[in-house]
C-alpha cells in the first residue's frame, strides 16, 4: 500500500504540475493528504481495541484471559484436552454405594446435605453395626481435609469435592470427628493415595484411601464379617470385578484400607504396606448438562476433544459415552499404557484417543507435545501444581479458577472462573469472532484505501483534473473510513461462525481468492464507476467544483455500501441481520 501510494503521488503530481499547471505547494499538500488517507493509521488501535473488548466479553462469560495474544490464539484452537472432574462433570460428588466383602449397601441423599439412609437388600440398615463399613466411615471422616458448610440455606463443600462427599457419607451415619490426626502421608497423582494416622484409644491407626488397584497392591489381608483374614486370589478377583462393575456404571471408585502402626515421629510409605483391605466406595459425579451441547459445537467447529482424568478407565469411558464424545473406533488409554508406548506409536494414534485414564501431570505434558507435533493448536486444562509444565507447553493453558492452585493459574493463559468446559468453547467462539472482526476491518479499510489511491491515478492518466481536493481526502479518511471501520471491529459474528474449520495460525489473513475479490476486483469496479461519473460531469461542461462534489458524494456512498457489505465476508448483504 505504501509503494502504491508513492507511485500514485509521483505520477499524479507530475501530471498535475506539467499538464494542469498546478502550483507546487498545492501538489505537495495534495500528496501529503493522499499519504495520510492511504495509511490505515487506526489499525493498531482497532486491533488492540478488538482484543481488549474480547477479553472483557470473555471475562463476563467467566473466561479470564491473561494475555492479549491468547485471545486470537483461542480462535485457532483445534484440540482441547480437558479434565473430567468438575470441568466436564458438575464436581458435586455423592456417594451412592459401599461395597465390603459379602455385602453391598446403597446410600440415599443428594448433593452435600448430610441426610440419607443406608439400604441393603431393600431394607434400611445401621451402617455402624457392620465393622468393615464402620471402619470405612471412620476413614472417610478422618482421612479428609474438606469441610462442609451451610451457606445461604445450601450445603457446600470447602475443599476437594471427593473428600466432601466422603465427609457427608460419614455425617449421614451420624459420625463426628473425634480422633486426633497425628501424621499424614499426602496424596499425589503419582501415589494415587492418601494416608493419615490417628490416635484411637491407646492405639495408632493408619487409614488409607486411594485408587482400588493401588490400595489392593498394598494389602495382604481383608476384613470379612468383622474378622481379618489373609487376602487370596479369589478375594482380589472379586474386588477387581466390583471395581470394573461400578466404573462401567460411571461411578468413581475409592478403596479403603487400614492397619495399626507403631508410634513414631514421622510415618513414611514403608508404613503403607501389609494393609487390611476394607472395601470400595462408589460415588457419582453427573455430567454438566451444558457440556453435551458444547461438545456438539466442537464437533461442528472441527475441534477435537479428549478427556483426561485420574479415574478408572471404565468410569471415564462411561461418562464420555454419556456425553456423546466416545464413539466406535475411538481409543481409551491408561496412563501406564501411555508410558509403554514409544513416541512413534503415540503419534500414530494420538488423534484417535478420546479418553486418558489414571493420568499423571507428566503424561499430560507428553500428550500436549504429541498433539503439537501433529500441528494441532492445543488447549490444555489443569488445576494442580504439577500441571504447570503441561499448561505452559500448551498453546492455551487453561487453569481452574475455583479448584486451581496459584501455581497453575500463574502458568496458564486463561482462567475459568466457573471451572466449566462449556466456558472454554464460548471463549474459542469469541476468539474466532475477534479475528473475524479484525479481518472485516482490514477488508473494508484496504478496499477503500486502494480505491482512493487508484481513482486519482486513473483520472490523471486519462488527462482529467484531480478528482478530490486535499480537504476532501482528509474528510473521507477521518469520517467515512474511520467510523464504520471501528464499528466493524465490534460487529456481531455470523451465526455459523463455529461451523467453520479452525484457521491455521500460519495461514495468511486473506486467501488468494479473497485477495483478488477484495483488493483488485472491488476497487476496479468502484474506480470505473467513479471515473465514469467524473468524466461525464467534466465532459458535460459542469464546473470542476460541482464535479468534485459529485464524485466526493459518490465516493462516500460507495464506501458506506462497502461497510454494509463487509459485515459478513461469507454471506450476501441481505442475509446479514
Q: Are residues 33 and 167 in the same domain?
A: no
- The CB density around residue 163, as the number of other CB atoms within 10 Å, is 22
Q: Are residues 278 and 292 in the same domain?
A: no
Contact 196, 209 (CB under 8 A): no
| Residue closest to 173 by CA, chosen among 213, 138, 212 | 138
Q: What percent of the chain has pLDDT over 90?
A: 63
Q: Are residues 277 and 350 in the same domain?
A: no
CA–CA distance, 326 with 346 (Å, rounded to integer)? 19
CA–CA distance, 320 with 333 (Å, rounded to integer)? 13
CA–CA distance, 314 with 242 (Å, rounded to integer)? 12
Residue burial 429-446, b: 16+ Cβ < 10 Å; e: rest? bbbbbbbbbbbbbbbbbb
Q: Are residues 565 and 494 in the same domain?
A: yes
**HEC string of 79-99?**
EEEEECCCCCECCCCEEEEEE
547 by DSSP, 3-state: which?
helix
Question: How confident is the model over 227-253, as pLDDT tens digits?
Answer: 999 999 999 999 999 999 999 999 999
Q: Which three cell numbers stand for residue 96?
A: 451412592
20 against 391, higher pLDDT: 391
Residue burial 264-300, b: 16+ Cβ < 10 Å; e: rest? eeebeeebbeebbbbbbbbbbbebbeebeebbebbee
**CATH number for position 555:** 1.20.1110.10
**CATH number for position 185:** 3.40.1110.10
| Residue closest to 411 by CA, chosen among 395, 427, 389 | 389
Is residue 4 predicted with pLDDT exceeding 70?
Answer: no
Q: Cα 444 to the chain's mean position, in Å?
A: 31
**CATH number for position 304:** 3.40.50.1000
The answer to whether 494 is a known catalytic residue is no
In a domain, 58, yes or no: no
Q: Are residues 300 and 347 in the same domain?
A: yes
CA–CA distance, 572 with 258 (Å, rounded to integer)? 70
Question: How confident is the model over 108-166, as pLDDT tens digits?
Answer: 988 899 999 999 999 999 999 999 999 999 999 999 999 999 888 888 899 888 999 99
Q: Which three cell numbers stand for residue 190?
A: 503419582
| Residue closest to 401 by CA, chosen among 165, 62, 67 | 62
Contact 46, 452 (CB under 8 A): no
Q: Are residues 175 and 258 in the same domain?
A: yes
- Rounded mean pLDDT of 163-183? 94
Number of H helices, E strands in the chain: 21, 21
What are the CB-based long-range contacts (under 8 Å, 24+) for 507-515? 509/439, 509/442, 510/439, 510/442, 510/443, 514/443, 514/569
Contacts of 275 (CB under 8 A, 6+ apart): 206, 208, 215, 218, 219, 220, 221, 257, 258, 259
Contact 224, 278 (CB under 8 A): no
Q: Are residues 344 and 457 in the same domain?
A: no
CA–CA distance, 523 with 182 (Å, rounded to integer)? 80
Contact 502, 303 (CB under 8 A): yes
pLDDT at 577: 58
Contacts of 180 (CB under 8 A, 6+ apart): 198, 199
pLDDT at 465: 86
pLDDT-based confidence at residue 5 (cuts at 50, 70, 90): low
pLDDT-based confidence at residue 218 (cuts at 50, 70, 90): very high
* Whole-Å CA distances, 496 to 178, 438, 491: 59, 17, 15
- The CB density around residue 532, as the number of other CB atoms within 10 Å, is 12
Q: How many domains does the chain have?
A: 3
pLDDT at 19: 65
pLDDT at 220: 96
Is residue 35 predicted with pLDDT exceeding 80?
Answer: no
CA atoms within 13 A on the CB side of 352: 9
Q: Are residues 384 and 432 in the same domain?
A: no
Q: Cα 300 to the chain's mean position, in Å?
A: 16
Question: How confident is the model over 93-104, as pLDDT tens digits?
Answer: 899 999 999 999
Q: Are residues 365 and 391 in the same domain?
A: yes
Strand 103-107 relative to strand 252-261: parallel, antiparallel, unpaired?
Answer: unpaired
In a domain, 67, yes or no: no
Contacts of 528 (CB under 8 A, 6+ apart): none
Q: Are residues 102 and 245 in the same domain?
A: yes
CA–CA distance, 183 with 206 (Å, rounded to integer)? 9
340: containing domain: 76-88+287-419
Q: Which three cell numbers stand for residue 119?
A: 439400604
Sign of CA dihedral 509, 514, 518, 519: positive
Is residue 53 predicted with pLDDT exceeding 90?
Answer: no
Q: Are residues 381 and 276 in the same domain?
A: no
Question: How confident is the model over 354-410, as pLDDT tens digits?
Answer: 999 999 899 999 999 999 999 999 999 999 888 999 999 999 999 999 888 999 999
In a domain, 66, yes or no: no
Residue with cell 497392591: 217
pTM > 0.85: yes or no? no
- Rounded mean pLDDT of 178-185? 93
Q: Which three cell numbers stand for residue 321?
A: 459415552
pLDDT-based confidence at residue 16 (cuts at 50, 70, 90): low
104 by DSSP, 3-state: which?
strand
Q: Which one of 26, 83, 117, 491 is the catalytic residue? A: 83
**398-402, 407-411, 475-479, 565-569: which range is least confident on average?**
475-479
Considering 419, 435, 470, which residue would you say is the last residue of a domain?
A: 419
Residue with cell 501424621: 183
In a domain, 382, yes or no: yes
The DSSP line for 231-263 is --HHHHHHHHHHHHHHHHTT-EEEEEEEEEE--
Residue with cell 503441561: 390
512 by DSSP, 3-state: which?
helix
Question: How confident is the model over 278-334, as pLDDT tens digits?
Answer: 999 999 988 999 999 999 999 999 999 999 998 999 999 999 999 999 998 899 999
CA–CA distance, 201 with 441 (Å, rounded to integer)? 75
Per the DSSP assignment, residues forming a β-bridge with 195 are: 185, 208
Considering 419, 436, 463, which residue would you say is the last residue of a domain?
A: 419
Contact 63, 427 (CB under 8 A): yes
Question: How confident is the model over 309-320, as pLDDT tens digits?
Answer: 989 999 999 999
Q: Are residues 306 and 432 in the same domain?
A: no
Strand 123-124 relative to strand 353-357: parallel, antiparallel, unpaired?
Answer: unpaired
Considering 231, 249, 284, which residue would you say is the last residue of a domain?
A: 284
In a domain, 228, yes or no: yes
In a domain, 399, yes or no: yes
Amino acid at each position: 500500500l505504501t509503494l502504491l501510494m508513492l507511485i500514485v503521488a509521483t505520477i499524479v503530481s507530475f501530471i498535475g504540475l506539467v499538464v494542469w499547471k498546478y502550483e507546487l505547494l498545492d501538489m505537495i499538500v495534495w500528496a501529503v493528504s493522499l499519504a495520510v488517507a492511504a495509511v490505515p493509521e487506526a489499525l493498531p488501535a482497532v486491533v488492540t481495541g478488538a482484543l481488549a473488548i474480547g477479553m472483557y466479553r470473555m471475562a463476563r462469560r467467566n473466561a479470564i484471559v491473561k494475555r492479549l495474544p491468547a485471545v486470537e490464539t483461542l480462535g485457532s484452537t483445534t484440540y482441547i484436552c480437558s479434565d473430567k472432574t468438575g470441568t466436564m462433570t458438575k464436581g458435586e460428588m455423592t456417594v451412592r454405594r459401599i461395597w465390603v466383602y459379602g455385602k453391598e449397601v446403597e446410600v440415599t441423599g443428594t448433593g452435600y446435605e448430610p441426610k440419607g439412609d443406608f439400604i441393603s437388600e431393600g431394607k434400611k440398615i445401621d451402617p455402624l453395626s457392620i465393622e468393615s463399613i464402620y471402619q470405612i466411615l471412620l476413614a472417610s471422616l478422618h482421612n479428609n481435609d474438606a469441610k462442609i458448610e451451610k451457606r445461604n440455606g445450601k450445603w457446600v463443600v470447602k475443599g476437594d469435592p471427593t473428600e466432601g462427599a466422603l465427609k457427608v457419607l460419614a455425617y449421614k451415619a451420624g459420625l463426628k470427628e473425634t480422633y486426633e490426626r497425628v501424621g499424614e502421608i499426602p496424596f499425589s497423582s503419582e501415589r494415587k493415595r492418601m494416608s493419615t494416622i490417628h490416635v484411637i484409644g491407646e492405639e495408632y491407626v493408619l487409614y488409607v484411601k486411594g485408587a482400588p488397584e493401588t490400595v489392593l497392591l498394598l494389602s495382604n489381608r481383608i476384613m470379612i464379617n468383622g474378622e481379618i483374614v489373609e487376602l487370596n486370589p479369589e478375594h482380589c478377583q472379586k474386588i477387581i470385578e466390583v471395581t470394573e462393575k461400578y466404573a462401567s456404571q460411571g461411578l468413581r471408585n475409592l478403596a479403603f484400607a487400614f492397619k495399626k502402626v507403631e508410634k513414631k515421629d514421622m510415618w513414611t510409605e514403608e508404613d503403607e504396606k501389609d494393609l487390611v483391605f476394607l472395601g470400595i466406595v462408589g460415588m457419582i459425579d453427573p455430567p454438566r448438562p451444558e457440556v453435551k451441547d458444547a461438545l456438539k459445537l466442537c464437533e461442528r467447529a472441527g475441534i477435537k476433544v479428549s478427556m483426561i482424568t485420574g479415574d478408572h478407565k471404565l468410569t471415564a469411558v462411561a461418562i464420555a459415552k454419556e456425553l456423546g464424545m466416545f464413539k466406535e473406533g475411538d481409543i481409551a488409554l491408561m496412563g501406564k499404557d501411555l508410558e509403554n508406548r514409544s513416541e512413534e506409536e503415540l503419534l500414530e494414534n494420538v488423534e484417535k484417543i478420546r479418553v486418558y485414564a489414571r493420568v499423571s501431570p507428566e503424561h499430560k505434558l507428553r500428550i500436549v507435545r504429541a498433539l503439537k507435533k501433529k500441528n494441532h493448536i492445543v488447549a490444555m486444562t489443569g488445576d494442580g501444581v504439577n500441571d504447570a509444565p503441561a499448561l505452559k507447553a500448551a498453546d492455551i493453558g487453561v487453569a481452574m479458577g475455583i479448584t486451581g492452585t496459584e501455581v497453575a493459574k500463574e502458568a496458564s493463559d486463561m482462567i475459568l472462573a466457573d471451572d466449566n468446559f462449556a466456558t472454554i468453547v464460548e471463549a474459542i467462539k469469541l476468539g474466532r469472532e475477534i479475528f473475524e472482526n479484525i479481518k472485516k476491518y482490514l477488508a473494508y479499510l484496504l478496499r477503500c484505501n486502494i480505491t482512493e489511491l487508484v481513482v486519482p491515478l486513473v483520472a490523471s492518466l486519462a488527462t482529467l483534473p484531480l478528482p478530490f481536493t486535499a480537504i476532501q481526502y482528509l474528510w473521507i479518511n477521518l469520517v467515512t473510513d474511520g467510523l464504520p471501520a471501528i464499528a466493524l471491529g465490534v460487529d456481531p459474528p455470523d451465526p455459523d461462525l463455529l461451523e467453520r474449520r479452525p484457521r491455521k495460525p500460519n495461514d495468511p489473513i486473506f486467501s488468494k481468492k479473497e485477495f483478488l475479490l477484495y483488493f483488485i476486483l472491488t476497487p476496479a469496479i468502484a474506480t470505473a464507476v467513479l471515473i465514469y461519473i467524473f468524466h461525464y460531469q467534466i465532459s458535460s461542461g459542469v464546473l470542476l467544483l460541482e464535479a468534485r462534489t459529485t464524485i466526493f458524494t459518490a465516493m462516500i456512498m460507495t464506501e458506506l455500501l462497502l461497510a454494509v457489505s463487509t459485515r459478513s465476508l461469507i454471506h450476501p448483504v441481505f442475509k446479514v441481520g
